[in-house]
A and B are shown apart, each in its own frame.
Chain A
Amino acid sequence: MGRYVARRLGQMVIVLIGATMVLFACLFVLPGDPVGSIAGSDKARDPAVVAELKARYGLDKSLPEQYVNYVAKVATGDLGEDFVQRREVSEILGPKLQNTAKLALLAIVLVTVFGMGVGIIAALYRYSILDMATTFFTTMAVGFPTFVIGMLLMKYFAVELQWFPQLGGDKLEGMVLPAVTLAITDIAFVARLTRGTMLEVLRADYVKTAVAKGLPRRRVLFKHVLRNSSIPVVTYLGISFGGLLGGALITEAIFNWDGVGLALVQAIQQQNNPIVIGVVTYSVAIFVVLSLIVDLLYAALDPRIRLS
């Protein structure tokens, strides 16, 4: 198990290097001039100033050289300085990560509670009105694009009814609409996934055996059915949480949520490459760590799965 974790962490470094390398190459072949965005785009610049800015940010070096410099700095925990505010990238992203994490956490709680809850009920009362309603609404929810959901929620619950603030804010009430927006699609997915795997497990012989042996229904459900049907759900939740932590571009943009998603959108527009690379590096790292955690959870959920 220890060796397994070590090996996975080793893989993580390789994935990180690969991802940042690809991104680096992409960012620097984009049209436009990052120095233009540092120096302001509209005015003719003194070439001397431009040259100095390029030197300052190492943009005068070749791409591989820039990449090596970047990696060397990142290895020491230094993500560099951004082009627009000229502040440390880590200092800029720190509070934004926290904001995104708050939102992601609330969203994933909603997804787990409502998604699994609805799925379990639908499976237990299969073909009932409840089940059919679940199928109908989850299909609808999956089909709606996030930005439509977000804008509708904002229009009705913030602008017209004024139940929630229109722009996030630090309080819980400000987090509700963006978190619900983020959660709705995933709730639907998780509900369907839970329902499907539960039904499968309910039909399994060992469940029939357990019931035949006269075990109490609740015990059968929790000990045998739920535990065995939760593996794919946990995988999905893990991946989904990873995605949420990486910043929800559209939702954060709609609700002006000051998280990494919004930062990424703005950085891309401004060609603020250090921020873009910073956000992506961090998202990839989170993703790899989470998938490791999910894999470790498998073993806990199903002892037949051995990690080695």
Chain B
Amino acid sequence: MRGAKSAKWVVGAVVVALAATACGGGDGDSKDKGSADGGVFRLGSTEPDTIDPGRAHESTGVLLANALFTGLYGNTPDGLAEPALAESATSDEGCTSWTFKIKPDTKFSNGEVVDAESFARGWARAAHKAAASDVAYHFAGIKGYAELQDGSAKTFSGVTTPDPTTIKVDLSKADCEFVLKTAHNAYSPVPKVAKVGEEDKAFGEAPIGNGPFKMDGTWEHNKSINLVRNDTYGLEKASLGKVQVTLLNDKTAQQLEYDGFQAGTFDYAHIPTPMLKTAEAKYKPQNKWFAKDTNGMNFVLPIGDNGPTNNKDARLAISYAIDRQAIAKGVFQGFQTPSTTIVPPSFPKAYQKDLCVSCVKQDVAKAKEHAEKGGLKPGTEIKFSFNTGAGHEEWVQAIAKQLEDVLGVKVKLDGKDFPGMLKEQQGGGATGIYRFAWGADYPTPENFLFPLLHSTSMSKDAEGNVTGDNRVRYNNPEFDKLIDTARGTKDEAARLAMYKQAEKMAMDDMALIPTFNRSQFRLMATDKFNGLDDINFNEDPILEKISLKK
């Protein structure tokens, strides 16, 4: 999951409502005035974990990796795949073999030509054990992945390069949406200086890429990362001369960004949750306020194989007992909307509004009825775990209170640090419910359904410890079959129909309990720059489209 530190996301993010106001910000006058070449775009962000394209996974790292590297495909801001260096992508009838043709003669910023080999190198490098990459699993479908992960191979047996502009990919299982995955930063090409199969610190500190921007110096840890326009960029060149990313202390980053925007230090800022109302009142009239519903979804994650939530009725009881409207209005002050699905509304072709019947409205009678059937007796203890310090306390407490009031159960709140919570969630003894959020890495419903609910996204060891993202331990062979068939179905309409059916199946089993849809809010210096009328699929400013106003 991109932005894996989803805690940070959600806080940062506070999810919004008002679909109607989405895209409030500033394209109004941007087209009237012309653009000037050059200019410095300044933003504040937290210190990234890594900016290596093969490893970047949290928001700052992804922002930078995508500015520095361009792969086969990209995503449009509204979540459609869009070719970048790929000239064509074709698959065989069964979707197990893909062939990409790439644009010839584009270059890395060191002058080296980007050829098929550079892609094969980049992919193998990211998937190799030595990279210890958090996002290596995006390659899991390619033949030879296991050998790279255990370090016994240095190349993908499934990736061949018959000529400098052709990449052939053999998959171990049919995947008609493989092309979408290539938009992920891990699928970037890398030049020859990047090391495959060994640790590569130097490259990670100042990656040499083929993107619209290149590094200006090296990464000054906790201080700044500066980019300059890459004048040898193979696609449409950027207009901005420089991008300055000031690295901020992550505990106060949002406040610093917000203050910095007000003080004129930054041209773009996230907004601390408590300041949303003030910021909206102040900056919306100035056309500097931006709001957009994004694909992030928040859930209550019920452990499905153990403890009080091991049956559908208990989970339904919990879902019916939650008053999502009250929390959206009260705790989130209207900046977040209740959710009724697993797949987000930002995937309009797959979205099935109100699919989760128990999510639509709190229903005390039904909640009690299901609780009785599901063995949630008054006094039953349910553990509710969440990560502390990330702004979840209030809504978690609100839900706990509602469950206690409606069902008479005893909710034991268990706050932990993020790694601690995840570790416990994966442990064999996990019970009860967890705070959970998920955002898409590529624009397909499969990116929610497969990792979160497919049985192969989970492997259990003898002690019941789980690896993989199917943390609810959902195991429904029919669901699996539907997803597998859908992935191997070439026709998009038929594929989507299957995903919808699979989502309904999981919802009927109440495998996950939807809570809120996420929206994003930003402040943007639309008085100084054009191109600040949207954020991209990764919720970042679209650096290559920004230009200085004349």
Contacts and interface: CB of A to CB of B under 8 A. Distances in A.
B259 A154 contact: yes
Contact of A42 (B134, B221, B248, B250): B134
B149 A166 contact: no
Contacts of B192: none
Contacts of A140: none
Given A41-B418, A42-B134, A43-B134, A85 B221 contact: yes
Interface string A42-56: 111110110011000
B6 interface: yes
B417 interface: yes
B481 interface: no
B262 interface: yes
B265 A165 contact: yes
A37 interface: yes
B252 A167 contact: no
Given A49-B132, A166-B256, A158 B1 contact: no
A31 B252 contact: no
Interface in B43-59: 44, 47, 49, 57
A85 B251 CA distance: 19
A39 B222 contact: no
B426 interface: yes
Nearest to B253: A256
Nearest to A47: B467
B416 interface: yes
A273 to B, nearest CB: 13
Interface string B253-267: 000100110111100
B4 interface: yes
Contact of A32 (B135, B222, B262, B423): B423
B129 A46 contact: yes
Contacts of A85: 221
Interface stretch (A5-13, A62-70, A225-233, A259-267): A259-267
B469 interface: yes
B286 interface: no
Nearest to B151: A48
Contact of B265 (A45, A166, A266): A166
Interface string A68-101: 0000000000000000111100001000100000
Given A44-B426, A159-B263, A253-B252, A31 B416 contact: yes
B263 A158 contact: yes
A86 B221 CA distance: 12
Nearest to A263: B222
A256 B49 contact: no
Interface in A238-283: 252-254, 256, 258, 262-263, 265-266, 269, 271
Given A36-B419, A42-B1, A84-B49, A167 B260 contact: yes
Contact of A44 (B6, B223, B264, B469): B469
A154 B9 CA distance: 26
Nearest to B422: A41
Contacts of B249: 252-253, 256, 262, 265-266
A40 interface: yes
A86 B201 contact: yes
A39 B263 contact: no
Contacts of B467: 44-45
Contact of B419 (A33, A53, A86): A33
A141 B76 CA distance: 54
B416 A166 contact: no
Contact of B4 (A38, A43, A46): A43
A161 to B, nearest CB: 10
Contacts of B252: 253-254, 256
Contacts of A33: 419-420, 423
A139 interface: no
Given A40-B134, A85-B221, A166-B256, A266 B47 contact: yes
Contacts of B417: 31-32
A165 B259 CA distance: 11
A147 to B, nearest CB: 10
A154 B252 CA distance: 13
Interface string B147-161: 001100000000000
Contact of A41 (B4, B246, B468): B4
Contact of A159 (B199, B248, B250, B262): B262
A258 to B, nearest CB: 5
Interface residues of A, number: 43
A128 interface: no
Contacts of A167: 44, 246, 248, 256, 260, 265
B351 interface: no
A125 to B, nearest CB: 40
Contacts of A32: 417, 419-420, 423
A159 B259 contact: yes
B137 interface: yes
A86 B426 CA distance: 27
Contacts of A53: 132
B5 interface: yes
Contacts of B251: 253, 265, 269
Contacts of B134: 39-40, 42-43
Interface in B218-237: 221-223
Interface string A96-117: 1000000000000000000000
Contacts of B416: 31
Nearest to A164: B263
A280 B129 CA distance: 34
A148 B84 CA distance: 49
B422 A36 contact: yes
Given A43-B134, A253-B249, A256-B249, A49 B47 contact: no
Nearest to B416: A31
A266 B250 CA distance: 8
Interface string A154-193: 1100110010011100000000000000000000000000
A262 B222 contact: yes
Interface string B1-22: 1001110000000000000000
A265 B250 CA distance: 10
A42 B467 CA distance: 11
Given A162-B264, A166-B256, A269-B250, A48 B4 contact: no
The residue among A38, A46, A87, A265 with the most chain B CB atoms within 10 A of its own CB is A46
Contacts of B49: 40, 84
A271 B132 CA distance: 18
14 contacts: A31-B420, A33-B423, A42-B6, A43-B469, A52-B129, A154-B259, A155-B259, A158-B263, A165-B265, A167-B256, A258-B223, A262-B249, A263-B222, A265-B249
Given A42-B57, A166-B265, A266-B249, 15 more contacts: A32-B417, A33-B420, A37-B419, A40-B49, A42-B5, A48-B129, A84-B49, A86-B201, A92-B221, A165-B265, A166-B259, A167-B256, A252-B249, A258-B222, A258-B223
The 3 A-B residue pairs with the shortest CB-CB distance in the complex, in nearest-first order: A42-B4, A40-B134, A44-B467
Interface of B: 1, 4-6, 44, 47, 49, 57, 129, 132, 134-135, 137, 149-150, 199, 201, 221-223, 246, 248-252, 256, 259-260, 262-265, 416-420, 422-423, 426, 466-469
